[in-house]
Amino acid sequence: MKNYIQQRRLIFFTDNKIKLSIYFAWIPIFCSLLYSCDSFVDVDLPTSQLTGNTVFENKNTANAALVNVYAQIRDNGLITGKPTGISNLLGNYSDELTFYGTDSNAAKDFYNNTIIASNTTVAGWWNNTYKQIYAANAVIEGVSNNTKLIESDKNQLLGEALFIRALLHFYLANIYGNIPYITTTSYQTNAVVSKKSVSEIYSEVINDLQKAISLLPSNYITSGRVRPNKSAVQALLARVYLYDNRWELAEQTASLLINNTNLYSWENNIDKVFLKESTSTIWQLMPSTAGKNTDEGNLFVFTSGPPTLVALNNELFKAFSSDDLRKTHWIKVVTNGTSTWYHANKYKQKSPTGTSVEYSIVMRLEEQYLIRAEARVYLNKLEEAKEDLNKIRNRAGLQNTTATTTENLLQAILNERKFELFTELGHRFFDLKRTANLDNFLSGTKPGWNTTDRLFPVPDSELRVNPNLLPQNDGY
């Protein structure tokens, strides 16, 4: 400013020929100098954005913030049925799938068990999942601090967000081992967060799930079982208890589901289990648009060989007993005359249909029977355990189990889980891991397998920016 005044004086005093009229020429510049400083550079909020605090003042926008998390879970991260999700990658990593893709495909390193700390897919799992957790926490904080929502809407949103937070942490802990449990949106806190042990994570998970149970209604709030209810939370809780070796609680919680016959009934027709109306479904993810089917179907189904990405492992196919209905109904054989390949055919739709036929199932009743069977073996209720196991076997057209001892029964359950839950969200890998069977099953069949492969590496990009996450898992 000084410059301009000085300049004005110079003109005025050094050249007295200047007429007063010329002085007016300065007006536009001086006016702008003096009066208009702040207003010009203020901009309106962009039309496509809402401010953070207004989102949670309204039921519809708060709901939109929450369903975004489901869409995220469906489309990326761990639970997605896309090739980057655990259904595909843990299937390759363990003994469920054979890899047919090119060298540059992300699944190759999973199939070869040559994951390194800088693997971008493993980093993607981590980052996407914590992003989903952030969004869940933002709902929890936004809803908790808000007085404009009615109590029931608040409880619904809170309960679902707590469930999501627990679910994602549970998967992370099983993949990465010790991890941080994130309960706030504060980046100052989250940037320097430290790891917790898996058992600490489980108690946080259980804590969140119990809160969610108290908040959520028994019935689904919408048709299609695409939003979790109280039972969905209990189903996950039963699984957590099983993984945490808390047999009694696992049995009790699984029984809650199994006894809830109003909502869940046994699907006797094996071809109907993966349809969107299936009565054994506890929670499923809805496709983005009407007419679309599952990403899993799109991923696994192929009509002519050789496959371009993955096929079902030949050994897995051979392991099925020949009269197992799952072998004929949930697996499809593709041949070109000289070679034969198999693909998972649980979800049968590769492409969109007029109206959607299948949704991606995250939890179903059959798993609850298997959870209870296993818990009951440990509780020494062998006969009851067999009943649960036979329920699964009989539907598949198989005779009752011949196992009688604890050890044999556990083996039979592990085996049954392999046949019942194959290519579903990494069940096989997690089962081998929690029963300390990874080396037994994979050392012989997978040339790249090492004991330390039981845990995935914390992404090294993450360790670089937060040293509190050190040490790296063994083997990386």
Q: Based on the shown chain and the rule CB under 8 A, indicate whether residue 219 belongs to the binding site for other proteins.
A: no
Cα distances (Å, whole numbers) of residue 76 to 81, 83, 124, 316: 8, 9, 9, 27
> 17 or 436, CB closer to other proteins?
17
Given the rule CB under 8 A, which of 65-73, 151-159, 388-396, 408-416 is the region that contacts other proteins? 65-73
Residue carrying structure tokens 């076997």: 393
- Among residue numbers 5 through 44, which ones bind other proteins (CB under 8 A)? 6-7, 10-11, 14-15, 17-18, 22, 25-26, 28-29, 31-44
Q: Based on the shown chain and the rule CB under 8 A, indicate whether residue 141 belongs to the binding site for other proteins.
A: no
Q: Based on the shown chain and the rule CB under 8 A, indicate whether residue 99 belongs to the binding site for other proteins.
A: yes
> Shortest distance, CB of residue 112 to other proteins, whole angstroms?
5
Given the rule CB under 8 A, which of 208-216, 264-272, 306-314, 433-441 is the region that contacts other proteins? 306-314
Number of residues that bind other proteins (CB under 8 A): 121
- Among residue numbers 241 through 300, which ones bind other proteins (CB under 8 A)? 286, 288-289, 291-292
How many residues can be counted in the chain?
Answer: 476
What are the tokens at 217?
């209604």
Is 412:389 a contact under the CB 8 Å cutoff?
A: yes
Residue type at 167?
L
List the one residue from 59, 61, 200, 249 that touches other proteins (CB under 8 A).
Answer: 61
> 200 or 324, CB closer to other proteins?
200
Is 454:438 a contact under the CB 8 Å cutoff?
A: yes
Q: Based on the shown chain and the rule CB under 8 A, indicate whether residue 104 belongs to the binding site for other proteins.
A: yes
Given the rule CB under 8 A, which of 53-61, 243-251, 267-275, 417-425 is the region that contacts other proteins? 53-61
Q: Based on the shown chain and the rule CB under 8 A, indicate whether residue 113 belongs to the binding site for other proteins.
A: yes
> 323 or 474, CB closer to other proteins?
474
List the one residue from 193, 249, 263, 410 that touches other proteins (CB under 8 A).
Answer: 193
Query: Helix axis angle, 151-176 relative to 230-243, nearest 10°?
Result: 20
> 286 or 455, CB closer to other proteins?
286
Given the rule CB under 8 A, which of 85-93, 102-110, 162-170, 356-364 is the region that contacts other proteins? 102-110
x/- map, 222-241, other proteins, by CB under 8 A: x-x-xx--------------
Count of other CB atoms within 10 angstroms of residue 55: 17
- Taking the C-alpha atoms of residue 255 and residue 103, their distance in angstroms, rounded to an integer, is 46
Phi, psi dihedrals of residue 97, rounded to the nearest 5°: -125, 155
List the one residue from 78, 161, 182, 232 that touches other proteins (CB under 8 A).
Answer: 182
State in Å, rounded, how far the first CA of the chain is from the last one: 61
> Shortest distance, CB of residue 303 to other proteins, whole angstroms?
4
> Shortest distance, CB of residue 211 to other proteins, whole angstroms?
21
Neighbouring C-alpha atoms within 13 Å toward the C-beta of 412: 23
Given the rule CB under 8 A, which of 46-54, 233-241, 249-257, 276-284 is the region that contacts other proteins? 46-54
- Which DSSP string corresponds to 66-105? HHHHHHHHHHSSSS-SSTTSHHHHHHHHTTSEEE-S-TTS
Given the rule CB under 8 A, which of 88-96, 113-121, 152-160, 209-217 is the region that contacts other proteins? 113-121
- Which DSSP string corresponds to 114-167? ---TT-HHHHHHHHHHHHHHHHHHHHHHHHHT-SSS-HHHHHHHHHHHHHHHHH
Is 345:317 a contact under the CB 8 Å cutoff?
A: no
> Shortest distance, CB of residue 3 to other proteins, whole angstroms?
5
Q: Based on the shown chain and the rule CB under 8 A, indicate whether residue 46 belongs to the binding site for other proteins.
A: yes
Phi, psi dihedrals of residue 340, rounded to the nearest 5°: -130, 140
- Taking the C-alpha atoms of residue 20 and residue 31, their distance in angstroms, rounded to an integer, is 17
Nearest alpha carbon to residue 242 among 369, 129, 362: 369
Hey, is 71 helix, strand or coil?
helix
> 76 or 174, CB closer to other proteins?
76
Q: Based on the shown chain and the rule CB under 8 A, indicate whether residue 436 belongs to the binding site for other proteins.
A: no
Hey, is 398 helix, strand or coil?
coil
Q: Based on the shown chain and the rule CB under 8 A, indicate whether residue 462 belongs to the binding site for other proteins.
A: yes
> Shortest distance, CB of residue 376 to other proteins, whole angstroms?
37
